[in-house]
Structure 1
Amino acid sequence: MKYAALASGSNGNCYYIADGQDAILVDVGVNAKHVELRMHNLGIVPSSISAIFITHEHTDHIRGLSVFCKRYQIPVYITAGSYKGSRLHLPEELVHIIPSDAKVQIGNMTVYGIPKYHDAKEPCSFVVSNGVLNIAIMTDLGRICDNVKHVIQHADILLLESNYDEEMLETGRYSFYLKNRIRSGWGHLSNRIALEALLENRTARLKHLILGHLSGQNNTVDRVQETFAPHCERMKLSIATRYEETRLFDTAELSTEEIVQIRVQQTFYQATFVFPEN
C-alpha cells in the first residue's frame, strides 16, 4: 500500500491511500489546483482516484471537493449530516450517502467509518485496510473515545491529530470562545493528549506514526517533534504540514517480519456508540 498526506493542517486536509490500481482520497480541503499540483509532485495521476471519502463538512476538509470530483467524475462517500452541512450540490450520481460506521469496498481495500466526537453534523474518521495492513486517518478528534482507542490498537500506519500546544493556545491571541471550542471535547487534540492516547493504546504492530492537522497559530513542528520523538524509537515518525505534501510512503519499505500478519476481518471491529447531541 502507498500513502501520503497531500495537505494537513487547520487550513486544509487531503490524504491519499492506494493499493495497487485502487486509490482513494480522504477529504479534499485544499483547492483542486493545489491537489493536482501536489499529486503531480508525487507522480499521482488525479484520474486514478477511485473514490473520495469525506470526514465532515468543515471548509478545511471540503474546500476543493466540488471542483475536483466533478472534473474527474469521482464518487464521493459522505454521511447524510456532513452532506447537508456542507451545503454543496454535487451531481447526484457521484454522491453516496453512508452511515458514520460504514464499511465500503473499493477494489482490494475496505474503508471503515469510525464515529467520533467533533463539532460537526455527522463526522467520522476512516481506517483503510487491504486485509493485512490497516492505515488510519484520525484527525479532528474532540476526545479519545473507545473508537479512537480501538483504532490506535489495530493500526499499522497511523496519521494522528496533534493540533495544538496547550501553553500556546492558552497564551495566544485566539478569543476565549474559540479557545474553549478547541479544547471543549468537541474540537481538537492537544500534543499532550495525543501522546497520552498513543502511549496507552499503541501495540507492536504500529510501525509508522504521522502527526498531522497542526494548528498554524497554536503549534509548531518543533514542539510536536520534541513531544513525540523520545517515545518513537521503534517506529517511523513523520510530521505532515500545511506547506507541502509528504513523500509518497510505501508499506513495502516496512519489513514484513515486523508486521503482525492477521487479517483485519478477524481483528478489526467497530463498537456502536450513541453520541450526545452537539
Structure 2
Amino acid sequence: MKYCAIASGSNGNCYYIAKDDSAILIDAGINSKHIHLRMYNLGIIPTQIKAIFITHEHSDHIRGLSVFAKKYNLPVYITKGSYEGSRLHLPSHLVNIIAPDEEVEIGGLKIYGIPKYHDAKEPCSFLVSDGVHNIGVLTDIGRPCENVQHVIQHSDILLLESNYDEDMLHTGRYSYFLKNRISSGWGHLSNRVAVELFNQYKTDRLKHLILTHLSGENNTVDLVHATFEPHCEHIKLHVATRYQETELFDITQILNKQTVSSPTVCLG
C-alpha cells in the first residue's frame, strides 16, 4: 500500500491510498487544478484513481470534488446527509450513497466507514485495509468516541487530526461563536486532546503517525511536532502542512524498517 496527504489543513484536505493498480482519494478539498499539480509532483497518475470517499460536506473537503470526479468519471461514495448538505449536483451515476458505517471494496482495498462526532449532517471517517495492514484517516473529530479509539488500536498507519492549540484559540481573534464551535465537542481535536487520545489507544502495531488538518490561525507545525515527538520513540512521525503535499509513502518500507530514525517534520 502507498499513501500520502495531497492536501491537509483547515483550507483543504485530500488523502491518497493505493494498493497495486487500485487507488482512492479520501476527500477532494482543494481545487482540481491543485490536486493535479500535487499528484504530478508525486508521480501519481490521476487515471489510477478508482473512487473518491467523502467524509462530510464542508467546503475544505469537497471543493475540488465535482470537477475532478466528472473529469475522470469517478464514483463518489458519500452519506445521504453529506450529499444533501453539500448542494453538489453530480451526475446521478457517479453518486453512491453509503451508510456512515458501511464497508466498500475497491480493487484490493476495503474501505470501512467510521461514524464520528462533527458538526456536519452525517459525517464519517475511514479506515482502509488491504486485508493485512490498516490505514486510519481520522480528521474533523469533535471528540473521541469508541469508533475513533477502535481505529487507533487497529492502525498500522494513522493520519490523525491535531487541529488547534488551546491557548492560541482562546486568545486569538476568532469570534466567541467560532471558538465555541471548534472546541465544543462537535468541531476539532486540540493538540492536547489528540496526544492524550494517541497515547491511550496506540498499540505496538502502529509504525507511522501523520498529524493532519492543522489550523492556519490557531496552530503551528512546531507546536504539533513538539507535542507528539516525545511519544513517538518507535513510531515514524510526520506533520502534514497546508503548503504542499507530503512524500508518497510505501507501507512495506515503513513496516520493514528495523531501526526507526528520529521523528521528522514533513512540510507537506
Shorter-normalised TM-score: what interval? over 0.9
1:111-260 equivalences under 5 Å are 111-256=111-256
1:100 maps to which residue? 100
Q: TM-score, normalised by structure 1?
A: 0.92
Q: TM-score, normalised by structure 2?
A: 0.95
Stretches of structure 1 that go unaligned for 5 or more consecutive residues are 259-278
Structure 2: how far apart are the matches of 1:223 and 1:38?
Answer: 26
Question: Does the 8 Å CA contact 2:114/2:124 hold for their aligned counterparts?
Answer: yes
Structure 1 stretches (4+) deviating beyond 6 angstroms? none
Structure 1: how far apart are the matches of 2:158 and 2:82?
Answer: 23
Question: Does the 8 Å CA contact 2:4/2:249 hold for their aligned counterparts?
Answer: yes
Residues 139-169 of structure 1 show CA distances to partners (whole Å, capped at 9, x for unaligned) of 0000000100000000000000000000000
Aligned-residue offset at 1:255 = 3.6
1:69 is paired with a residue whose SS is helix
1:39 to 2:57 alignment: no
1:267 maps to which residue? none
1:12 to 2:15 alignment: no
Structure 2: how far apart are the matches of 1:50 and 1:233?
Answer: 36
| CA RMSD of superposed structures (Å) | 0.9
Aligned residues: 258
Aligned-residue offset at 1:257 = 8.6
Aligned-residue offset at 1:252 = 1.6
One-letter identity of the residue aligned with 2:157: I
One-letter identity of the residue aligned with 1:170: H
Structure 2: how far apart are the matches of 1:228 and 1:123?
Answer: 27
2:137 is paired with a residue whose SS is strand
Structure 2: how far apart are the matches of 1:68 and 1:159?
Answer: 23
2:89 maps to which residue? 89
Aligned-residue offset at 1:40 = 0.2
2:69 maps to which residue? 69
Residues 215-258 of structure 1 show CA distances to partners (whole Å, capped at 9, x for unaligned) of 00000000001000011010100011110000000012124497
One-letter identity of the residue aligned with 1:62: I
One-letter identity of the residue aligned with 1:216: G
Stretches of structure 2 that go unaligned for 5 or more consecutive residues are 259-268
Seq. identity, %: 69
Aligned-residue offset at 1:47 = 1.1
One-letter identity of the residue aligned with 1:2: K
2:266 maps to which residue? none
1:56 maps to which residue? 56
Question: Does the 8 Å CA contact 2:207/2:255 hold for their aligned counterparts?
Answer: no
